Amino acid sequence: MIGSPDVVAFTREEVYEEPLQGSPGLPEEYSVPLFPFQEADSSPWSRPPGAKFSKDFILISEFSEQVGPQPLLTIPDDPRVCGAFDLNYFSLRIMSVDYQASFVGHPPGSSYPKLNFVEDSKVVLGDSKEGAFAYVHHLTLYDLEARGFVRPFCMAYISADEDKIMQLFLELSGDFSKASDCLKTGNRKAFANELEKKLKDLEYTRSVLLAHLEEQRKTDGKGFYTTQAIDKANELANVEKSIIEHQDLLKQIQQYPYRKLKPEDDFQPFLPESPCDCTVTGEPERAAPSSDTEENPADEEASEYHPRASYTPKFIKAKSAKCFDKKMKTLKELVDVYFFVQTIDLLTRLERRYRGDVSYLLMRHLDQTLLEQQAISNFLFEDASTWNTKAFDRRYEEKLDASQSLHDSKYLEEEQDPVKPSASLESYKSSVESVPIKIEQDLFEENGHTEVLIQGDQVEVAEYLDVDIKGSISSGDSIEVLRTERSASMLSHSESQPCLRLHPSPQQLRRKHSGRRTISEDSIEVLSMCPSETIIPEDFRASYQIAINEEEPCVDEECEELTSGPDAAGRSETSVNELLIDPACCIRGDDSSPVQQNVDLSPDISVGDTIVSVPPQPCRLPDRNFQVKVCVDNAESPSMETACHRLSVTEPESVHLLSSREAKRMSSEEHLDSLSHKSSASTCSDRTPSPPPISSLSERHKRKAGQNALMFIRQYPFSHPAIYSLLSGRTLVVLGEEEAFVKRLVTALSIFVPNCGHSAKPIKPWATSPLNIVDFQKWKLIGLQRDASPPGSPITQSLSRYRRYASVLDADNKTLCCPVYKGSLLQRMADHRTQIRKGSTYYMHVQSMLTQLSSKAFLLTFCHHAQLRIHPDDVEESVCQRRAAFLHQLLGLSQDDRKIVEYLSELLKTHYVTEAGTQLLPALRFNYIPSILYKI
Amino acid sequence: MAALCPPPSPAVAKTLVSMAGPSPVLAATFAYWDNILGPRVRHIWAPKTDEVVLGDGEITFLANHTLNGEILRNAESGAIDVKFFVLAEKRVIIVSLIFDGKWNGDRSTYGLSIILPQCELGFYLPLHRLCVSRLTHSIRKGRVWMHKVKNNGTERNGQSIIPMLTGEVIPIMELLSSMKSHGVPEDIDIASTVLNDDDIGDSCHEGFLSNAISSHLQTCGCSVVVGSSAEKINKMVRTLCLFLSPAERKCSRMCRSESSFKYESGLFIQGLLKDSSGNFDLPLRQVMYAPYPTTHIDVDVNTVKQMPPCHEHIYNQRRYMRSELATLWRATSVEDMAGDSAKHTDESFLPDLLHMFQDIHHRDTFVKSFLEQVFQLKPNLSIRSTFLAQFLLVLHRKALILIKYIEDDTQKGKKTFKSLRSLKTDLDLTVEGDLNIILALAEKIKPGLHSFMFGRPYHISVQERDILMTF
């Protein structure tokens, strides 16, 4: 390939241009563009030229029998989202491909109308000229006044990225099916209520007509029938026929064939428990929980559609209104308000979940999948929220399955028995199916995670509740929306005809409700409610507490399992030395689950492998001059402090310690990075930021940490030794007078701190009391307040006492006292000349480099050549030499880089032999190495 | 005019296709929008089976349904739109390509569709892109065909388009059938791959394995493995599949031991058996039409060859497609049009095709280090799988950073990307092979990245070379 610009002068214009001109005669519409990005501004990030909307949105449309296809509502309900996009036209387009195989009406051979429960159809289509592509979910709702009793609707996810729709087809299909099921369940309930009301009206009408006839018969004793009497008789006959028809319809809707749904469609808002239950429960159809309806204003509106006990039947006139005279019900009226709110909440979450660039969405999924495959090592540097939830849930589900198999369906009931408030909630029933609904806290998905945090740390709860605000948590297997205050207010604001408007407030999603459906062998529907603490009625608060209490036995059970090994009792006091066996020998080929791996640790399990019989070897750094190991039992979990730290990053940060120029630059770069976040995650299809896997708070934290880290490595020439301290397990104390500035540095350095287990990072962002030795065991990065008092103050004294065993970064004087670093790993990880300009990008870069480090540590940990005696006459020194050669030759690591990998390897071993989830702190180890004072 | 009318429904012309194995396809249809009668079906292709799952009436109904609403069609000139249906009531899925074309001087809307049972949704979705890509090119040719036959006055009984479409549709049905029987499963046991060997040289030479995996990653995970032993080929196919995502694995095919499959454009990995004389058929035109460049791995002689990187491949592909369509456009008779279009393409372009597989120019450190390290771990344990997952995570994260870096640098494509050198330094991708691997992964995540980065400069350099050749 010749690329020298010199030769361009010799090119012949006509030949040079030929391939761009296309083939002679072939119309361009039949040809293929030579370049993927033909237009000047087109790029992999650009949107289709015709796209008139700014980001993806959800559209609900109806094929009205009166006015044809019409848009009803969009999510989000912001006119700027749709822009100039013609919703009417697109509704017409998407509704025109509807597939309606249903037959409703009088089928041949049947004298009564027959409801056909049609399965939803799903269509992906697009309009290339408008730059709009859509996943369209068609569904049918029932309406007593509609033609054939059916109203066709569709929910469409509209995007400018065609590939996004197809690549996420299965996920979209699953999630919209849940929304559809929810909507249809609410519709069946409302339809049944409507039928019951109608039946009461008809009964009343019949009784009135009968009375009239009787009266006429009495008054007209001659036996002649007047015309009026004949009309009344005909009318009565029609009413009686109508009664039979409506009774038949009611019977049909109550016998909805739930089993028609495929097994994989695991979400069914309500399932009939059993036919006998309907009779046993006695209460025919009043479904809403009494406490809830009394307290929640939303039910005032809901009650409009519920047949009240005090419902006054109306007389039905013989001639009903003409088709076009009558006012069709709105979508909100067609669906029970409770389910309507659930559906809208679910769709709102879906919109947020699928927002952003498809490449980031897919990569996030791939990331999670790969992280799940490396449960042994992913705790080191990964954000626990991205994978821990799933892993925890999976473990929990396994345990739950096991316990459920033991206790059968009575398990949950027994668990709930001791707590009185749950009993009242169990009486909640669906009016359609007369199904008792149990209230139960969600045990799966993110809620399980939340509950654990609730137990451990209320601050974490606050954060994770905020997590839910962002709406980026997948709904998983269950719909997790229940009635909320916001929902009620939203509905009160929505118009009645014809288009619904939603006005979600920022607080709306804070009210996270979690619902879980449990299907016992009797197909009992269990739906839980967990409104936020701000609006939880007393009974719901109780159920919330129940959920927390329910969690405990399982956690305890897990702990029991974890401590059931032969050396379990003393495990927490076991020093690292005692734990250092070759984990490679303990891994079974068929299973890598932590619990089972733990079982493998028992000394008598050799499985015929001679290496396994080798006793555990100590892992000592050959060059250590001094080493102290102290074990502290029952140490406090670091999660609290770290939670504080996490929250602290959102605080306004001071830049006044920097020069005005620096501060200005920092501010502009932050702004740039903020913009970057908004734009980077957006795509050709969407300009909005991609939501993070768990929360945008977390994403914001990452961005901020990356930005601060980038500043740190640029402004501090001694960034490498500081990072080296952290990566090699030496505690770094950031000393400073101003809290905000110290916290800023702590945030910057936090991304380099390895985790010690399945808990938050060992970081104390701000300490104001003198440090003691336990702090050095718990924390690897400490922000310490500098005393204004003279050097004899307790804080300064405590620091000077441990100074030789810890690195100290003086934020005020911009000095660093720590060991020298002479490696090459950090040159690439923290290069002050880097052209990376944005914090989020730098964070990703560091994360990638740290993943490489984890991989090296994993290799060292599980490579038996580097850990164990190969020959019986091997002495420990030869193993150390072999390990050094392994690190140097195979991994290409220098002396200092080796220390990093060896430290990480030790963490891996410790974590491996203890169990995931246990809060065992690492052994306290001081490694005395001469320090050097760095100054700017 | 009456002679040109299709037979009335439901007596739609139908071609029964004999399939070697089980066919997941229920039928393929070609329908059009009649300005008076609405959607009409012109032809049906269905596998020849004993059991009729869908009757002709139902197929016709479904095919008509694909054109529902197309009276509102408002597409850009030359657009080929894709519609995808999951009709639970009918238990079918339909992929339908809708396009405008001129036939008999009238402009109308057409739909070429494939109907599968709904239970094959999971099977079909990973293959959707492949099917759409293949059908799209068939339609491009079909449109020229439809236009030409009228102008040449060579259409007889309105059926001349059908043989051409038959030649395109049947291979797709055969491909889906072969994928059903020999598709790679989503989960691969590492124990059945080379990575479970005790040592690196046990199954194949170290350098060969390293080259194969490296080139495979550099060509976006698209490889053809050929050899004389099906077992050996399949072991290599499974090994390479470890480096693909689960969805990509489902778009890969094992080698058939009895007789070789034909090469299929668009699969990620496919194993092909050589014949008794040690030869195999690799149709260059189809290799050129694959969405990514391909690595050619011969397990008999341990050779690895690769096609040029993505931007060159895409450029050559489009150039070749245009050439093929132009040749079709210039054809003067039906016989010319019906012949192998490859031979009509621009003759001057062919020499490039013949040299499109070349030795690997750029060595990498990622794969080399990985292989050196993974064999240090004990086999038959899950730790090698874990180590592989870590390796893939590193690669994918680097690819995502690369995308983000370019996104930041170019303000999301608004500016030209000029800082490749900085990118290499900042992201530690100074080794050319490493950069190629990460770029290839990034291309799959963000399609068009190569062309955006190198497209125009590459095109200019090719022009310069062509000009110099004329001196």
CB nearest to A30's CB, from B78, B405, B459 = B78
Confidence of residue A339 (pLDDT cuts 50, 70, 90): very high
> Do A587 and A438 share a domain, yes or no?
yes
- Which chain A residues in 782-821 lie under 8 Å from chain B, judged by CB atoms? none
- Which chain A residues in 701-740 lie under 8 Å from chain B, judged by CB atoms? none
Mean pLDDT, range A735-754, rounded to an integer: 91
> Do A815 and A850 share a domain, yes or no?
yes
Rounded to the nearest angstrom, the minimum Cα separation between B413 and chain A is 5
pLDDT in tens, B255-293: 998 888 899 999 999 999 998 888 888 888 889 999 999
**Is the residue at A875 inside a domain?**
no
CB contact under 8 A, B451 and A130: no
pLDDT confidence of residue A283: 38
Query: C-alpha dihedral over B391, B397, B398, B400, to 10 degrees?
Result: 150
Q: Does B395 touch chain A (CB under 8 A)?
A: no
CA angle A640, A643, A644 (to 5 degrees): 90
Cα gap A613→A604, rounded to integer Å: 8
A442 closest CA partner among A433, A434, A451 = A451
Q: Which residues of A touch B463 (CB under 8 A)?
A: 11, 15-16, 19
More confident residue, A508 or B201: B201
Q: Which residues of B touch A890 (CB under 8 A)?
A: 372-373, 376
CB contact under 8 A, A11 and B456: no
Rounded to the nearest angstrom, the minimum Cα separation between A58 and chain B is 18
CB nearest to B401's CB, from A93, A125, A841 = A841
> Do A755 and A837 share a domain, yes or no?
yes
- Which chain B residues in 355-374 lie under 8 Å from chain A, judged by CB atoms? 372-373
Q: Which residues of B touch A359 (CB under 8 A)?
A: 400, 403, 445-446
Report helix angle B206-218 to B432-445, nearest 10. 40
Q: Is the pLDDT of residue A384 over 70?
A: no
Judged by phi (left if over 0) then psi (alpha if -120 to 50, else beta), residue A134 lies in beta
CB nearest to A890's CB, from B373, B422, B428 = B373
> Helices (H), strands (E): how many in chain A?
34, 15
- Residue A409 backbone phi and psi in degrees, to 5: -75, -10
CB contact under 8 A, B468 and A10: yes
CB contact under 8 A, B378 and A584: yes
> Do A802 and A832 share a domain, yes or no?
yes
Mean pLDDT, range A363-379, rounded to an integer: 86
**Is the residue at A888 inside a domain?**
no
A814 closest CA partner among A740, A710, A742, A743 = A742
Cα gap A375→A388, rounded to integer Å: 9
The segment with the largest mean pLDDT, out of A273-287, A609-623, A920-934, B399-413, is B399-413
Q: Give the best residue of A848, A860, A861, A904 to mutate against chain B (max B CB count within 10 A).
A: A848
Residues 6+ apart with CB under 8 A from A644: A459, A765, A766
Q: Does B42 touch chain A (CB under 8 A)?
A: no
Query: What's the sign of the alpha-carbon dihedral A633, A634, A639, A641?
Result: negative
pLDDT in tens, A666-716: 455 455 454 444 444 344 444 444 443 334 447 788 888 999 999 999 999
Cα gap A3→A26, rounded to integer Å: 31
Q: Does B151 touch chain A (CB under 8 A)?
A: no
Average pLDDT, chain A: 65
Mean pLDDT, range A750-757, rounded to an integer: 85
**Is the residue at A15 inside a domain?**
no
Three-state DSSP class for residue A513: coil
CB contact under 8 A, B460 and A173: no
Cα gap A624→A930, rounded to integer Å: 11
Integer CA distances (angstroms), A22 to A18, A27, A42, B145, in order: 7, 9, 20, 18
> Do A372 and A268 share a domain, yes or no?
no
> Do A57 and A156 share a domain, yes or no?
yes
CB nearest to A97's CB, from B69, B77, B468 = B69
Rounded to the nearest angstrom, the minimum Cα separation between A93 and chain B is 6
pLDDT confidence of residue A495: 40
| Tokens standing for residue A280 | 């046993």
pLDDT confidence of residue A112: 65
Number of domains in chain A: 3
CB contact under 8 A, B381 and A584: yes
Q: Which residues of B touch A864 (CB under 8 A)?
A: 378
pLDDT confidence of residue A314: 78
> Do A103 and A129 share a domain, yes or no?
yes
The parent domain of residue A519 ranges over 28-171+350-610
**Is the residue at A139 inside a domain?**
yes
**Is the residue at A89 inside a domain?**
yes
Q: Give the best residue of B61, B386, B410, B449 to mutate against chain A (max A CB count within 10 A).
A: B386
Cα gap A128→B78, rounded to integer Å: 10
Three-state DSSP class for residue A459: helix
pLDDT confidence of residue B418: 83
CB contact under 8 A, A863 and B376: yes
> Do A288 and A433 share a domain, yes or no?
no
Confidence of residue A343 (pLDDT cuts 50, 70, 90): very high
Rounded to the nearest angstrom, the minimum Cα separation between A473 and chain B is 22
Strands (E), A194-318: none
Q: Which residues of B touch A377 (CB under 8 A)?
A: 386, 390
CB contact under 8 A, B319 and A834: no
pLDDT confidence of residue A868: 66
CB contact under 8 A, B413 and A44: yes
C-alpha radius of gyration, chain A, whole number: 34
pLDDT confidence of residue A98: 62
Q: Is the pLDDT of residue A645 over 50?
A: no
pLDDT confidence of residue A228: 76
Mean pLDDT, range A740-757, rounded to an integer: 89
% of chain A at pLDDT higher than 70: 51
More confident residue, A555 or A748: A748
Residue where a domain terminates, one of A309, A335, A361: A335
**Is the residue at A144 inside a domain?**
yes
More confident residue, A443 or A261: A261
Greatest Cα pair distance in chain A: 126
Rounded to the nearest angstrom, the minimum Cα separation between B145 and chain A is 10
Q: Which residues of B touch A841 (CB under 8 A)?
A: 401, 404-405, 408
Mean pLDDT, range B299-310, rounded to an integer: 92
Q: Is the pLDDT of residue B42 over 60?
A: yes
Q: Is the pLDDT of residue A453 over 90?
A: no
Report helix angle B383-409 to B432-445, nearest 10. 80
Average pLDDT, chain B: 85
Q: Is the pLDDT of residue A152 over 60?
A: yes
Q: Is the pLDDT of residue A221 over 90?
A: no
Q: Which residues of A touch B319 (CB under 8 A)?
A: 19, 34
pLDDT confidence of residue A563: 36
% of chain B at pLDDT higher than 70: 87
* Chain B residue with the nearest C-alpha to that of A858: B387
**Is the residue at A436 inside a domain?**
yes
- Which chain B residues in 47-66 lie under 8 Å from chain A, judged by CB atoms? 65
Mean pLDDT, range A588-597, rounded to an integer: 40
A101 closest CA partner among A120, A83, A88 = A120
Integer CA distances (angstroms), A225 to A206, A214, A221, B140, B152, in order: 19, 12, 10, 78, 83
Cα gap B447→A159, rounded to integer Å: 17
- Which chain B residues in 300-359 lie under 8 Å from chain A, judged by CB atoms? 314-315, 318-319, 321-323, 325-326, 329-330
Residue where a domain terminates, one of A278, A309, A335: A335
Q: Which amino acid is at B88?
A: A
Q: Half-sphere exposure (CA, 13 Å, Cβ side) for A606?
A: 10
> Do A269 and A378 share a domain, yes or no?
no
Q: Is the pLDDT of residue A281 over 50?
A: no
Lowest average pLDDT, out of B242-256, B341-355, B393-407, goes to: B341-355
Integer CA distances (angstroms), B458 to A680, B442, B461, in order: 27, 19, 5
> Do A554 and A468 share a domain, yes or no?
yes
More confident residue, B419 or B248: B248
Helix (H) or strand (E) holding A73: strand A68-75
pLDDT confidence of residue B354: 62
Q: Does A264 touch chain B (CB under 8 A)?
A: no
Q: Which residues of B touch A376 (CB under 8 A)?
A: 386
* Length in residues, chain A: 936
| Tokens standing for residue A607 | 């499985």
Distance, C-alpha A209 to centroid of its chain: 59
**Is the residue at A74 inside a domain?**
yes
Q: Which residues of B touch A368 (CB under 8 A)?
A: none
Cα gap A817→A836, rounded to integer Å: 28
Cα gap B185→A494, rounded to integer Å: 50
> Do A142 and A286 share a domain, yes or no?
no
**Would the pTM count as exceeding 0.80?**
no
Confidence of residue B64 (pLDDT cuts 50, 70, 90): confident
* Chain B residue with the nearest C-alpha to that of A854: B390
Integer CA distances (angstroms), A203 to A310, A311, A317, A360, in order: 15, 13, 13, 60
Report helix angle A358-372 to A384-407, nearest 10. 60
How many residue pairs bridge chain A and chain B with CB atoms within 8 Å of each other? 310
* Chain A residue with the nearest C-alpha to that of B82: A125
pLDDT in tens, A849-904: 999 999 999 999 888 776 666 666 667 777 788 888 888 888 888 888 998 999 99
Mean pLDDT, range B60-65, rounded to an integer: 88
- Residue A922 backbone phi and psi in degrees, to 5: -70, 155
A330, A62 Cβ separation under 8 angstroms: no
CB nearest to A23's CB, from B72, B329, B427 = B329
- Which chain A residues in 173-232 lie under 8 Å from chain B, judged by CB atoms? 173
pLDDT in tens, A204-216: 888 888 888 787 7
> Do A705 and A604 share a domain, yes or no?
no
pLDDT confidence of residue A488: 36
Q: Is the pLDDT of residue A246 over 50?
A: yes
Cα gap B227→B255, rounded to integer Å: 10
CB burial of residue A110 (10 Å; 0-12, 13-18, 19+): exposed
Q: Is the pLDDT of residue A912 over 60?
A: yes
CB nearest to B326's CB, from A23, A838, A890 = A23
Bridging pattern class, strands B295-298 and B223-227: parallel
3 state SS for chain B = CHHHCCCCCCCCEEEEECCCCCCCCCEEEEEEEECCCEEEEEEEEEECCCCCCCCHHHHHHHHHHHCCCHHHCCCCCCCEEEEEEEECCCCEEEEEEEEEEEECCEEEEEEEEEEEEHHHHHHHHHHHHHHHHHHHHHHHHHHHHHHHHHHHCCCCCCCCHHHHHHHHHHHHHHHHHHHHHHECCCCCCHHHCHHHCCCCCCCCCHHHHHHHHHHHHHCCCCEEEEECCHHHHHHHHHHHHCCCCHHHHCCCECCCCCCCCCCCCCCCEEEEECCCCCCCCCCHHHHHCCCCCCEEEECCCCEEEECCCHHHHHHHHHHHHHHHHHHHHHCCCHHHHHCCHHHHCCHHHHHHHHCCCEECCCCCCHHHHHHHHHCCCCCCCCHHHHHHHHHHHHHHHHHHHHHHHHHHHCCCCCCCCCCHHHHHHHCCCCCHHHHHHHHHHHHHHCCCHHHHHHHHHHHHHHHHHHHHHHC
Rounded to the nearest angstrom, the minimum Cα separation between A856 and chain B is 9
Cα gap A693→A679, rounded to integer Å: 17
A140, A118 Cβ separation under 8 angstroms: yes
Q: Is the pLDDT of residue A798 over 60?
A: yes
Confidence of residue A299 (pLDDT cuts 50, 70, 90): very low
Q: Is the pLDDT of residue A359 over 80?
A: yes
Q: Is the pLDDT of residue B52 over 50?
A: yes
Quickly tell me which residue has 């909440």 as its tokens. A345
- Which chain A residues in 44-73 lie under 8 Å from chain B, judged by CB atoms? 44-46, 50
Cα gap A900→A931, rounded to integer Å: 17
More confident residue, A219 or A320: A219
Quickly tell me which residue has 């031979």 as its tokens. B343
pLDDT confidence of residue A872: 65
pLDDT confidence of residue A401: 40
pLDDT confidence of residue B37: 82
CB nearest to B428's CB, from A127, A828, A858 = A828
Residue where a domain terminates, one of A610, A643, A659: A610
pLDDT in tens, B209-254: 999 999 999 999 999 999 999 999 999 999 999 999 999 999 999 9
- Residue A246 backbone phi and psi in degrees, to 5: -70, -35
Q: Is the pLDDT of residue B35 over 50?
A: yes
- Residue B305 backbone phi and psi in degrees, to 5: -125, 150
pLDDT confidence of residue A608: 36
Query: What's the sign of the alpha-carbon dihedral B67, B72, B76, B82?
Result: negative
pLDDT confidence of residue A234: 84
